[in-house]
Structure 1
C-alpha cells in the first residue's frame, strides 16, 4: 500500500514539474539551430561548431557537469565534404544550353560528391549494379566511357539470385560507374512509387574510398523526363520492364548534360558530441545512469545557394533534450540515479557520434539503465515509441504515462533500436526511440523550417520524455534484458 502511494505521488509530481516545459522555449531554440547562420549544421563544419558551442554554453548555464569533469565536448574525427560554388546542372545540345536547372528544386548534390566540370552524353544503367558474384550486370550491354550514368538511387526491391545486393549506397554505385569509365553519375528515385521521393540532401555515402573527381547528383523526376525525351522510352516504363523481368535493360538516352561542382574533401575532420551530466542523489543508485540524447547535426548547405535548416531533423530533438535538462536543473529536482544528457554529431552520416559514445562511454555500460533517443519530435500528428518489442517494460512505462495525460501515443512499435538508439541497443542497453508519426514530410529538404512544426505536439512529446526520464531516474524501472 505504501509503495502504491509513493508511486502515485511520484507520478503526480512528475506531471506538475513537466509543466515547466513550454513550447515557446522549445521553439526559440529551434529557431536559432535552424537559422541560416548555422548553415545546416553539417558535422565538422563551422555551422555545426557554432551550434555545439551554443548548446554547451546552455548546459553550463543550467549547471550540468561537464563530460568526465573537463569539457562538454567529446571529440572525434569524421570524413568531411564541403560543397562550394560554383554549382550547376544544364541540359545541353551541340555545346549550347537548352535548359538550366535550379539547385535545391530540380536537383541536389550528394553529400559526398566529388568535384568536376564535365559535359557528356547520358546513359541509363538501371540499378547501377555490376556483380559477377550475383550474376547481374547493368553495364554488360552498354559502353559508358566518358559518359554520364543515370541510375536508380535505391536497390531493387526484389532479390537477385536469392541474394540482397548490399552495395546500394552512392559511393559503391559511383565506384562501379567510375570503374566502367563514366565521368559522373546522376541518381533518380523510383517513378512508379505512389509518392516518389524528391531530391533530398544526404551525407550517407557507404563504404570505400572517396573519388574526389567524380560528381554525384540526385535529380528530380521531371529532369529525368527531359533526359529520356529522345530515347523512345520513359523512366517509368523501364522501371516496370526491369522489375517485371528481373534483368537489366540499359540504354543510351541521346541527351547531354553539363554539370559543375566544387567539393572540398577532408579524410579526417574533428567534430564533437556535447555531453553534460546531472548527478544522482541516492547513495545506492547514483552510480546508475540514464542517457537521453538527440543528434544536433543535419546535412549542411550546398554552394552557398541553399541550406537545409533541419528544424524537425533534429533541432527539435536537441531543443527537447535541452529543455528537459533545464526542467530538472532550474527546478532543483533531485533524482536517485544520474542522468547523462547528450547531443550527437554525425548521425546523418551513419550514427557516427552515437557509435563513438557507445564505444567510449564515460561509465561502465552495465551501469546504464536505459537510453532515450529523441529524433524528429516537432512535426506530425501523434507520438511513436519505438523499440518496444526489444524493451517492453521500458515501452510500457512511457505508454502508461501518456495514457494518463495527452493520450497521443499510437501503438506501433518495433525492435532493434532506431537512429541514435541503435549503437546502445547493440551493446545490450534498453532503448526507447521517441519520434512523432508522419514526421518526415520535409525530410532533408530546404523546407524543414520552424514554421512547419506543431508546437502543441512538440511540447507534449517533450513532457512525456521528461516524465519517463523522471520515473526511471527515481528507481521506477529496473533494467531489463533486451529481446532481439
Structure 2
C-alpha cells in the first residue's frame, strides 16, 4: 500500500511538473525548430525572390493547421498586393582590383536600379555636401562617372551637417537628371539593409571603408534589379475558439517577412527579426490549443506579411478586418524576442498603464525577466495600425544580447533565446489575467 501511494504521489508530481514545463522547457525545442526552419537558406530570407515569402507563409499555415486553428478561408491566407524592388540575379562590386562581398563588405540601396559596366570614380567634396551651389557645380563634372562620398569624415560633425549629408544622399538617389551613373558611400558604420517599394533614379552602394582599397580610381559594377509593380503576398490568420466564443478576442501577432536576397549568393536569415517572434506566436498558439489550457475568450493569431516594406500587412488587415476591430480586447505584437538578457521593452506601456502594471506585477511575482520597461507611443511595428484605430495594444521586444539586425549575421545558430522560456510563461500568465479583466 505504501508503494502504491508513493507511486500515486510521483504520478501527481510528474503531472504538475510536466504541465509547468509546457511554459518553458517544452516550448524551447519547438521554438528553436521554427526559427531554424524560417531562417534557413531555402526560405530565401522570407522576401520576394524565389517566393521566399510564400514558402514562409505556407509553413506557418501548416503549423496553424496542425493546431486545428480555424481559418477564414483561403488556407489561412489573407492576400493583398504590394510593389517591391528586388535583386534576384547578379550583384557584384569590384573596387580597383579588389572584389567585395555583398552583405559583408557592401550593400546596394534597396531602391537601386540595374547598372553594368566599368566606371571612373569622382570624389564629392565636403564643401559640395554643405553648399547646394557647389554640389550642382561638381555634379556637372560627374557625367558617366560614379560619385564617391566618404561618410566617415562626418562621424564627429554637427548634427545639422550629418542631416545635410543624408539629404544629399537622398537627393542623389532621386534626382532624375543626375549626371552621375551611381553613388558609392564609404562608411565605418554597421551595414544595415531594408526593403524598398519603389525604384529610385540612381543606384547607390554603401561600402565598408575597411574592406575597400585605400585608394582606387575605377569600379566595376554588375547590379541586376527587378522591380515588381504588383506582387501578391499574404497575412496568415488563425482563430482559436475559447470557452465563450464570440464574446471578444485577444490577439497575438508577429510579422514573418524579412529582407530576402541580395543577389544569387547572399540572403538575410532574419532569425531574431522576426523568426523569433513567429516562434513565440506559434508556441503560444500551441499552448492555448491544448484542451487543458483552452482560453476563456477567442484568440486570434496573425503572422503579418510585408512589415519590412512599411507595415503593409497590418495596415491591410485593419482596412479589411477579418474580425470586428471593436471586438478586440487587447493585442500583443511580438517583434524580436530572441534575447532578453536585459529584459523586455513594452511599447505603449506608458499608455495602457493598468495593463502594464499587471505585466510588471506578474513578472515580479514569478521572478521571470530582469526588467519589464515601459515605452511610449511608437509606430515601429504591426501594432501601430491597430493602435491608430483605437485597439488597445502592446508591442514587446527583448533587450540585450547579440546586435545582429537587418544584416546577414542574424542567424539561428547565434541566436541565444536567453529568456524565451520566461517571456513565454509571462505572456501566458498575462493572457490568463486579461481574461479576468474582461
TM range (shorter): 0.7 to 0.9
Counterparts in 2 of 1:266 and 1:204: CA distance versus 1, 3 Å: closer
What is the CA–CA distance in structure 2 between the aligned matches of 1:291 and 1:169, rounded to whole Å? 42
The aligned counterpart of 1:323 is 283
3-state SS of paired residue (1:39)? helix
Residue of structure 1 aligned with 2:86, choices 82, 85, 90: 82
What is the CA–CA distance in structure 2 between the aligned matches of 1:79 and 1:158, rounded to whole Å? 34
The aligned counterpart of 1:404 is 365
3-state SS of paired residue (2:61)? helix
Q: Are residue 72 (structure 1) and residue 76 (structure 2) matched?
A: yes
**Preserved contact between residue 271 and residue 345 of structure 1 (Cα < 8 Å):** yes
Counterparts in 2 of 1:138 and 1:32: CA distance versus 1, 3 Å: farther
Residue of structure 1 aligned with 2:295, choices 331, 335, 356: 335
Counterparts in 2 of 1:170 and 1:121: CA distance versus 1, 3 Å: closer
Counterparts in 2 of 1:158 and 1:470: CA distance versus 1, 3 Å: same
Residue of structure 1 aligned with 2:425, choices 450, 457, 463: 463
What is the CA–CA distance in structure 2 between the aligned matches of 1:350 and 1:31, rounded to whole Å? 25
What is the CA–CA distance in structure 2 between the aligned matches of 1:375 and 1:399, rounded to whole Å? 19
List aligned pairs for 1:107-118, cutoff 5 A: 107-118=106-117
Counterparts in 2 of 1:99 and 1:383: CA distance versus 1, 3 Å: same
- TM-score, reference length from structure 2: 0.84
Q: Are residue 158 (structure 1) and residue 118 (structure 2) matched?
A: no
Counterparts in 2 of 1:101 and 1:391: CA distance versus 1, 3 Å: same
Q: Deviations over 1:10-54 (max 9, x none)?
A: xxxx97763575211100111111111111111575122111111
**Preserved contact between residue 84 and residue 195 of structure 2 (Cα < 8 Å):** no
What is the CA–CA distance in structure 2 between the aligned matches of 1:75 and 1:126, rounded to whole Å? 47
**Preserved contact between residue 86 and residue 260 of structure 1 (Cα < 8 Å):** yes
Question: Number of residue pairs matched?
Answer: 413
Residue of structure 1 aligned with 2:193, choices 193, 196, 201: 201
Counterparts in 2 of 1:314 and 1:80: CA distance versus 1, 3 Å: same
Counterparts in 2 of 1:16 and 1:40: CA distance versus 1, 3 Å: closer
Measured on the aligned residues, the alpha-carbon RMSD in Å equals 3.2
Q: Are residue 277 (structure 1) and residue 269 (structure 2) matched?
A: no
**Deviates most, 144-153 or 363-372:** 144-153
**Preserved contact between residue 120 and residue 258 of structure 1 (Cα < 8 Å):** no
Q: Are residue 179 (structure 1) and residue 177 (structure 2) matched?
A: yes
The structural deviation recorded for 1:64 is 0.7
List aligned pairs for 1:233-382, cutoff 5 A: 255-282=217-244, 286-382=246-342
**Preserved contact between residue 402 and residue 415 of structure 2 (Cα < 8 Å):** no
The aligned counterpart of 2:210 is 222
Q: Deviations over 1:213-236 (max 9, x none)?
A: 73332211325673xx4xxxxxxx
The aligned counterpart of 2:410 is 448
Counterparts in 2 of 1:333 and 1:172: CA distance versus 1, 3 Å: farther
The structural deviation recorded for 1:327 is 0.5
The aligned counterpart of 2:351 is 390
3-state SS of paired residue (1:18)? coil
The structural deviation recorded for 1:396 is 1.6
Q: Are residue 99 (structure 1) and residue 118 (structure 2) matched?
A: no
What is the CA–CA distance in structure 2 between the aligned matches of 1:410 and 1:307, rounded to whole Å? 34
The aligned counterpart of 1:210 is 199
**Preserved contact between residue 384 and residue 412 of structure 1 (Cα < 8 Å):** yes
The structural deviation recorded for 1:128 is 9.2
